[in-house]
């Protein structure tokens, strides 16, 4: 009977220890110590049936008290460390490490996060004081890009109506009508990225992600919505005849009044009033399986 009671207490301690290590609740530590102490001390000599049974009980008790309290404290106080990483696609963050678990937030491509391994398939992440779970395959330590320098120019950023894309079989049309929406300043967007046309010099296909890096340090997240025709650009296939390197796709009915007046998309945002000095092109393409 005594042996059964000790075994039950051992199982209780194992359960409490698991909670202790996962949550860092120190109250569980004291409960463990108290249970172990009571298990190690016989209530009376009447309970002792024989010397052999007493030895068995003592052996069981040794297992329960294998770790002294100071070592339990060390384990409980050990901080959980998180690594830094980046999302390599648009991803939904789950409340639990299950595909069908509730979605608590969504993260865009190349979003910096903190994470730790939860199991072979999932990681626990921290983002803006929120915790959740995503599959490990959607985390990268670094997002690679090809960087292109842009020669000095005025900084002018033109625009074109997205409705000018009329070829229904083209990737440009597919991007606008299946993935895009009218977003900030009346500019067409895919998730958090602005739809922009650039020249063939940058070796970027329709639907591929890139960043515009401005001289003032501002980064504008973009996706290629159209390509400037070679016949309409200079010898290096960077600038249009009007001297711009970028052409934003817009919804004319929702376009910001400042852009309408100036004809320059830079006027939509004070931080955008700076020339593009570099274009960072990523491998990710929403039309080729990269969300």
For residue range 196-216, list pLDDT tens digits in order: 999 999 999 999 999 999 999
For residue range 135-176, list pLDDT tens digits in order: 999 999 999 999 999 999 989 999 999 999 999 999 999 999
What is residue 216's predicted lDDT score, i.e. its pLDDT?
Answer: 97
For residue range 16-33, list pLDDT tens digits in order: 454 444 544 444 444 444
Question: In which domain, by residue range, is 132 found?
Answer: 83-140
Q: Is the pLDDT of residue 194 over 70?
A: yes
Query: Is the entire prediction scored with pTM above 0.95?
Result: no
Whether 157 and 284 map to the same domain: the answer is yes
Q: Which of 123, 140, 157 is the last residue of a domain?
A: 140
Selection from 142, 148, 257 nearest residue 198 by Cα: 148
Whether 132 and 224 map to the same domain: the answer is no
Q: Is the pLDDT of residue 92 over 50?
A: yes
Selection from 250, 78, 79, 84 nearest residue 164 by Cα: 250
Name the helix (H) or strand (E) containing 4. Answer: helix 2-23
Whether 70 and 92 map to the same domain: the answer is no
Whether 202 and 256 map to the same domain: the answer is yes
Q: Which of 77, 95, 113 is the last residue of a domain?
A: 77
Report how far residue 117's alpha carbon sits from residue 81's, in angstroms, rounded to the nearest whole number.
10
Whether 193 and 246 map to the same domain: the answer is yes
């Amino acid at each position: 009977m005594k042996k059964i009671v000790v075994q039950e207490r051992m199982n209780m301690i194992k359960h409490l220890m698991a909670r202790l290590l996962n949550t860092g609740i120190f109250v569980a530590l004291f409960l463990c110590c108290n249970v172990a102490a009571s298990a190690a001390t016989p209530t009376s000599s009447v309970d002792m049936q024989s010397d052999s049974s007493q030895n068995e009980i003592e052996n069981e008790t040794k297992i329960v008290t294998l770790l002294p309290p100071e070592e339990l404290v060390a384990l409980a106080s050990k901080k959980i460390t998180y690594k830094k990483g980046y999302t390599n696609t648009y991803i939904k963050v789950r409340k639990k490490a299950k595909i069908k678990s509730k979605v608590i937030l969504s993260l865009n491509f190349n979003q910096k996060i903190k994470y730790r391994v939860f199991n072979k398939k999932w990681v626990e992440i921290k983002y803006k004081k929120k915790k959740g779970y995503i599959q490990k395959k959607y985390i990268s330590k670094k997002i690679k890009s090809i960087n292109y320098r842009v020669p000095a120019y005025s900084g002018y950023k033109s625009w074109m109506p997205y409705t000018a894309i009329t070829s229904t079989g083209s990737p440009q049309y597919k991007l606008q009508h299946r993935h895009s929406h009218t977003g900030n300043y009346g500019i067409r967007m895919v998730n958090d990225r602005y739809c922009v046309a650039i020249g063939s010099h940058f070796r970027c296909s329709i639907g591929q992600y890139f960043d515009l890096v401005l001289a003032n340090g501002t980064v504008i997240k973009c996706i290629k919505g159209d390509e400037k025709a070679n016949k309409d650009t200079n010898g290096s296939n960077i600038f249009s005849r009007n001297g711009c390197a970028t052409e934003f796709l817009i919804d004319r009915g929702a376009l910001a009044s400042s852009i309408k007046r100036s004809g320059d998309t830079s006027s939509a945002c004070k931080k955008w009033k700076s020339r593009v000095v570099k274009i960072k092109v990523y491998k990710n393409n929403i039309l080729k399986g990269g969300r």
